[in-house]
Amino acid sequence: MNEDLYKQVLGSFPSGVTVVTAYDDDGAVTGLTASAFSALSMDPALVLVCPNYSSDSYPVLREASRFAINILAADQTGPCFAFAKKGEAKTAAIADVAVTRSEFGTPLIDGAVATIECSLWKEYEGGDHAILIGKMEQANVNEARSPMVYCRGKMADWATLTD
Ligand SMILES: Cc1cc2nc3c(=O)[nH]c(=O)nc-3n(C[C@H](O)[C@H](O)[C@H](O)COP(=O)(O)O)c2cc1C
């Protein structure tokens, strides 16, 4: 399959944007911006997220065995781009992102539309991406916040789409 066509086709499917976060062994916030997120099962309550095997966050999420999926609000392009960086540039950028440690022990991004805290339930291989299935342990939704919508490389505000 032609890579450009693959990206064009899949990029035409609108999604939201999440940041998947966990604490590393030293207690530092780690994570990556990910649109490859989906609902999976109601009973048990499962969701899935797909980090590239080349992601530096992937081994941390795996090792931590617990992670948070932060569903971003339309005004959260800052966290969106910060967690899409790598290495030292990411460390510097995410220092500006306000995060609160939950009782469950994951970093929750302040102002997210919703957060889902997961224990790692199962993992599968999906070509060049891992498929991490998380069991929902805690969840929170803030109806007052408007979700970010992502399509064809652009971000939009869900609130502008409803009327
Ligand atoms: C809107 C958006 C969606 C993304 N979705 C994914 C995704 O689903 N899976 C993935 O592995 N990377 C995704 N990325 C890219 C990662 O965020 C990026 O490669 C990041 O640098 C990985 O950081 P890490 O290596 O520190 O984990 C996305 C980036 C953006 C901006």
- In 3-state terms, what secondary structure has residue 133? strand
- Which domains does the chain carry? 3-162 (2.30.110.10)
For every residue of 85-123, DSSP letters joined together read: S-HHHHHHHHTTS-EEE-TTS-EEETT-SEEEEEEEEEE
32, 63, 125: residue to mutate for ligand 1 pocket, most atoms within 8 A of CB = 32
Q: Which residues is 135 bridged to in the sheet? A: 46, 119
Q: Separation of 16 CA from ligand 1 center, angstroms?
A: 13
- Collect the ranges in the chain with pLDDT lower than 50: none
| The model scores a pTM over 0.75 | yes
pLDDT 10s digits, 112-143: 999 999 999 999 999 999 999 999 999 999 99
